Structure 1
């Protein structure tokens, strides 16, 4: 794989989850969560609540994939066959061997089921072992305790908080963003084994 090209057809799966490239037609697969669970986007910059917002969310994600700065996935729960949510690689920098992992959301039926750990294992394994990344970064609203706890539980280390880093969906309010990361050595030395043991 060349240093500048991000692979175009990534499918990651284990016995519990399947991650495949997000498509425009996935509006139908995610509509139920979009309409019925607006609290899912409480901390999101780009809301996907309601059909129009979901269509817009997916279009923005697909445009970013064309530009090779992001790679969005749809997540399917293999046990039920249902679509659980979405996640993506973003701020992909093949030259620096860094990327961010985020824009992750799941419907309430899939939270706390272990699905997220399976997704993160597959995504981190791909980032470090297939793409050869040196660093995977995570960010969250510093008020989003559920998200921060989930990141720490998979082995992310807190680096710090960027104050007033970005506007929120309520544009008159700015958010503090917490930054966490996993480095390549940490993945191979501890994080991979610890995470695998929790699956």
Structure 2
């Protein structure tokens, strides 16, 4: 089993994307999205849709890392030379070799550019091949069709829907779709498939 230490700063990167452990100082790097594009968090349970909520968002993420539950990243687009969003490992269980990937968002100008696929590839590769994970799980609000289709496109298997399992900030109860990739699926098919789909991102 590979070792993973929450205290270490792991940087994941390729030619196009760089995932850097989130820091409190990244408030300045993400503030423009919080101020100008609050609709990004329409389907999010934890919103960063104004400066105050962004501070809370970052503080909560860092607190969860200290508690050994989550490992958040800020996303840097190496082609655009710009910070473009955030993502994280969450619900991490090192004793049973499983985790979730989630809390992923991008500025509107960087959605659909291909940067998300590069980030997902880097995170899946690290989870299965460095952290020793046997299962990577994803969850999405059932009304968030764009996110669900994106997860299917990277090789996720739909497992089912957990009905009325969470309460949105609006007070409405939500149904959650569960998807996953297992280690043997990653090794035998998903890695190669996803690698062939990684787009060239233009400047």
Please give the TM-score of this superposition, normalised by the length of structure 1. Answer: 0.97
User: Partner residue of 1:184?
Assistant: 183
User: Partner residue of 1:174?
Assistant: 173
Runs of 5+ in structure 1 lacking a partner?
A: none
Q: Following the alignment from structure 2 to structure 1, what is the Cα–Cα distance between the partners of residues 3 and 160?
A: 29
Q: Following the alignment from structure 2 to structure 1, what is the Cα–Cα distance between the partners of residues 189 and 2?
A: 29
Mapped pair 1:87 → 2:80 = no
Q: Following the alignment from structure 1 to structure 2, what is the Cα–Cα distance between the partners of residues 6 and 184?
A: 21
- Give how far 1:6 is off: 3.8
Q: Is the 8 A contact 1:3 1:95 kept in 2?
A: no
Aligned to 1:196, what secondary structure does the other structure show?
A: helix
Please give the TM-score of this superposition, normalised by the length of structure 2. Answer: 0.95
Q: Following the alignment from structure 2 to structure 1, what is the Cα–Cα distance between the partners of residues 125 and 47?
A: 29
User: Partner residue of 1:55?
Assistant: 55
Deviations 1:68-127 (A, max 9, x none): 100000000001111110000000000010000000000011111110000000000000
User: Partner residue of 2:146?
Assistant: 146
User: Partner residue of 2:133?
Assistant: 133
After the TM superposition, which parts of structure 1 deviate over 3 Å for at least 4 consecutive aligned residues? 1-7
- Give how far 1:38 is off: 1.2
Mapped pair 1:17 → 2:13 = no
Q: Following the alignment from structure 1 to structure 2, what is the Cα–Cα distance between the partners of residues 2 and 124?
A: 14
Aligned to 1:10, what secondary structure does the other structure show?
A: coil
User: Partner residue of 1:193?
Assistant: 192
Mapped pair 1:159 → 2:137 = no
Aligned to 2:73, what secondary structure does the other structure show?
A: strand
Query: How many residue pairs align between the two structures?
Result: 198
RMSD: 1.3
Mapped pair 1:118 → 2:124 = no
Runs of 5+ in structure 2 lacking a partner?
A: 199-203
User: Partner residue of 1:34?
Assistant: 34
Q: Following the alignment from structure 2 to structure 1, what is the Cα–Cα distance between the partners of residues 129 and 68?
A: 19
CA distance 1:2–1:157, shift in 2 (3 Å): closer
CA distance 1:183–1:74, shift in 2 (3 Å): same
Q: Is the 8 A contact 2:3 2:130 kept in 1?
A: no
Q: Is the 8 A contact 2:133 2:183 kept in 1?
A: yes
